[in-house]
Each structure stands twice: as C-alpha cells, then as structure tokens.
Amino acid sequence: MSISFTTSIISRLKREIADLQKQSVNDKSKKEKAAAKIKQLQKSSKLSSSPSDLSSKMTQITKLTDEVARIDASQAALAKQLAAKNAELRQQLAKEQQKETKE
C-alpha cells in the first residue's frame, strides 16, 4: 500500500468516527428529551381525573419508554462501532508511521 492510500483510509476513518460521535450526541439528546417528557407525563398523570386522559398519558409513557430502550440499544451499537473504528484508526496510524520511518 502506498502512503496516499493509507492516508485516505485514515481520513475516511476519522470522518466515520466523527459521524458516529455526532449520531451518539444526537441520540443522547433525544433520550434526555424523552426522559423529561416521561417525567412530565408521570407528574401530570397523578393529577389527571379523567380515565381516558390517564389512559392516553400511560400510552404515551409506554411509547416513550420503548423509544428510550431503542435509543439505549442504538447507543450500545454505536459504542461498539466507535471502538472498532478507533482500533482500526490506531492500526492504520501505526502502519503509516512505520512506513514513514522506513523511508
């Protein structure tokens, strides 16, 4: 492999890592918003007097709880991908450094 090929791999990996980190931050934000909405719904459901209103709020809480669980699973997958990409990046950087020292 030429140095330019290794450099392009490194650039691609850095871009992919940045995208994964951005997605992780977005997911964390969505999770925080959903958790806040759940708390708000729980608080207002205690004050709710209408059975249909209470049922509606409980349905919303269930949906938001499912969304939080989905986001948690997504976060775990992203963490795994980030670890793999970082390991690959370190490997490519070591290769590049090794080639530079040979020249």
Which CATH class for the 3-96 domain?
mainly alpha
Using pLDDT thresholds of 50, 70 and 90, give the confidence band for residue 3.
low
Name the pTM for this structure: 0.80
Give 101: exposed, middle or buried? Use CB within 10 Å, 0-12, 13-18, 19+.
exposed
For the chain, the structural domain boundaries read: 3-96
**pLDDT above 90: residue 46:** no
Whole-angstrom Cα distance, residue 70 to residue 92? 33
